[in-house]
């Protein structure tokens, strides 16, 4: 599988002098002559930056204000005005036309990652991956993160290179890293129709961050068994509630891999308690991104993050091969997170390849 950017957050201590811009009282760097407040959203801060008026206008034209004002978390690589000015003449004006809204959205969402990743985490991922780390974005583009001396760079699908000039501008719903070049999708990607304006896709369906876990899951063709089980266990109302919840969501193939007759037996009314026990062993209280889980695992003496599901069952997480996250159940089974950080209005879903079973 393609290793997800959000699955390998490290706590590195690399010194990156280029990130040592002047700080406001909150500890955030100043951007475009304005203080950046960690208790404000990405949009609320960006509108005050004199260096990001073009980006803000583009976000407004693309109808992404509500998205970038939502809970997130997001990592935004924010090009300065000069980066847009460097595009071929007329490019920005063309993109801002209403008839080109989808193309504009594609470009903008190629600057957004559905997780919060600070500069030390990015630098750690680059080091782990031998100098280049793939960064999948919500727009479907994959950027290549590298180090150029002590500077983080991002190469887009057209080979254009952007340098992070100000990093770690914390927001209430994520982080901004200022860059000096606009990142563009590849030629083929640019010509394609974006999937629901760059939203993550699961089981062929767009996942909307303003919908609940159940409201999104019912549309995934890869999770029909899980949804049927949630309904049979009477957990729909719970997973539609405020939460937040972190759900490790097994695909249909994971249930099919269980011994013959297991699913059918569990779905019987008389086995509702057992089914509920298994399903709630896939749910953790709180909103845990893959980066959060990986960070805790890397900091643990045994390199495992040990935590409890809402069922009371013990789970463990480990990062292997430089970035792949595996979840271990009480029976010792380990299953890979194949898609992470699918944000919901009441939490987050991480797709896994196996069913987690209590001992």
pLDDT range class, residue 187, cuts 50, 70, 90: low
Percent of the chain's residues with pLDDT above 70: 89
Q: Cite the beta strand spans of 94-173 per DSSP E.
A: 112-113, 132-136, 142-148, 151-155, 161-171
If you average pLDDT over residues 324-329, what whole number do you get?
A: 92
21 in Cβ contact with 29 (< 8 Å):
yes
Give the pLDDT score at 358.
83
The answer to which of 31-45, 53-67, 176-190, 337-351 has the lowest mean pLDDT is 176-190
Residue with tokens 């204000």: 65
Give the pLDDT score at 308.
92
If you average pLDDT over residues 63-89, what whole number do you get?
A: 92
Give the pLDDT score at 207.
87
Give the pLDDT score at 13.
26
Give the pLDDT score at 197.
53
Q: What is the topology classification, in CATH, of domain 5-199?
A: FAS1 domain (2.30.180)
Whether residue 330 has pLDDT greater than 80: yes
Give bridge partners of residue 324 from the DSSP assignment. Answer: 320
Q: Which CATH class is domain 202-352?
A: mainly beta
Whether residue 18 has pLDDT greater than 70: no
Decide which of 196 and 74 is more confident. 74
Q: How far apart are CA 207 and CA 198, in angstroms?
A: 10
The reply to whether 202-352 shares the fold of 5-199 is: yes
Encoded tokens for 311:
């069922």
Each domain of the chain, given as residue ranges in start order, spans 5-199, 202-352
Whether residue 285 has pLDDT greater than 80: yes
Report the chain's mean pLDDT, rounded to a whole number.
Answer: 86
345 in Cβ contact with 335 (< 8 Å):
no
pLDDT range class, residue 200, cuts 50, 70, 90: confident
pLDDT range class, residue 80, cuts 50, 70, 90: very high
Give the pLDDT score at 199.
77
Give bridge partners of residue 284 from the DSSP assignment. Answer: 246
Q: Which residues of 60-82 are buried (b: 16+ CB within 10 A; e: fewer)?
A: ebbebbebbbbbbbbbbbbbbbe
Each residue of 27-71: pLDDT tens digit?
789 999 999 999 999 999 999 999 999 999 999 999 999 989 988
Whether residue 189 has pLDDT greater than 80: no
Distances (CA, A) of 209 to 68, 114, 142: 11, 10, 21
Whether residue 293 has pLDDT greater than 80: yes
The answer to which of 185-194, 214-223, 303-312 has the lowest mean pLDDT is 185-194
Whether residue 5 has pLDDT greater than 50: no
pLDDT range class, residue 26, cuts 50, 70, 90: low
Q: Are strands 74-79 and 174-179 parallel, antiparallel or unpaired?
A: parallel
Decide which of 26 and 44 is more confident. 44
Q: pTM for the complete prediction?
A: 0.51
Give the pLDDT score at 220.
87
If you average pLDDT over residues 287-309, what whole number do you get?
A: 90
Each residue of 229-264: pLDDT tens digit?
999 999 999 999 988 999 999 999 999 999 999 999
Q: Which residues contact 52 (CB under 8 A, 6 or more apart)?
A: 31, 32, 46, 78, 80, 81
């Amino acid at each position: 599988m393609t290793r997800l950017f959000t699955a390998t957050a490290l706590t590195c201590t690399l010194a990156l002098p280029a990130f040592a811009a002047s700080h406001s009282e909150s500890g955030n760097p100043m951007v475009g002559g304005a203080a950046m407040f960690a208790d404000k959203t990405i949009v609320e801060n960006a509108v005050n930056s004199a260096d990001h008026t073009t980006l803000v206008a583009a976000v407004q034209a693309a109808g992404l204000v509500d998205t970038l004002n939502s809970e997130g978390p997001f990592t935004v690589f924010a090009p300065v005005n000069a980066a847009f000015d460097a595009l071929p003449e007329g490019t920005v004006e063309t993109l801002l036309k209403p008839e080109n809204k989808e193309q504009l959205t594609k470009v903008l969402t190629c600057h957004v990652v559905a997780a919060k990743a600070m500069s030390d985490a990015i630098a750690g991922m680059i080091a782990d991956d031998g100098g280049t780390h793939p960064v999948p974005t919500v727009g479907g583009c994959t950027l290549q993160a590298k180090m150029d001396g002590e500077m983080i760079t991002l190469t887009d699908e057209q080979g254009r290179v952007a340098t992070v000039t100000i990093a770690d501008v914390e927001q209430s719903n994520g982080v901004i890293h200022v860059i000096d070049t606009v990142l563009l999708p590849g030629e083929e990607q640019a010509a394609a129709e974006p999937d629901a304006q760059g939203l993550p896709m699961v089981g062929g369906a767009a996942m909307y961050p303003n919908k609940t876990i159940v409201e999104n899951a019912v549309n995934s063709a890869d999770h029909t068994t899980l949804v049927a089980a949630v309904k049979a266990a009477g957990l729909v109302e719970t997973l539609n509630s405020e939460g937040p919840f972190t759900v490790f969501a097994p695909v249909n193939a994971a249930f099919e891999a269980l011994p013959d007759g297991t699913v059918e037996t569990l779905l019987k009314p008389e086995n509702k308690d057992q089914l509920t026990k298994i399903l709630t062993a896939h749910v953790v209280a709180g909103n845990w991104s893959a980066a959060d889980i990986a960070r805790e695992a890397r900091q643990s003496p045994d390199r495992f993050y040990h935590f409890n599901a809402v069922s009371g069952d013990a789970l463990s997480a480990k990062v292997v091969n430089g970035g792949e996250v595996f979840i271990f159940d009480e029976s010792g089974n380990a299953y890979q997170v194949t898609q992470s950080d699918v944000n919901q209005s009441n939490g987050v879903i991480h797709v896994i390849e196996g069913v987690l079973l209590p001992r």
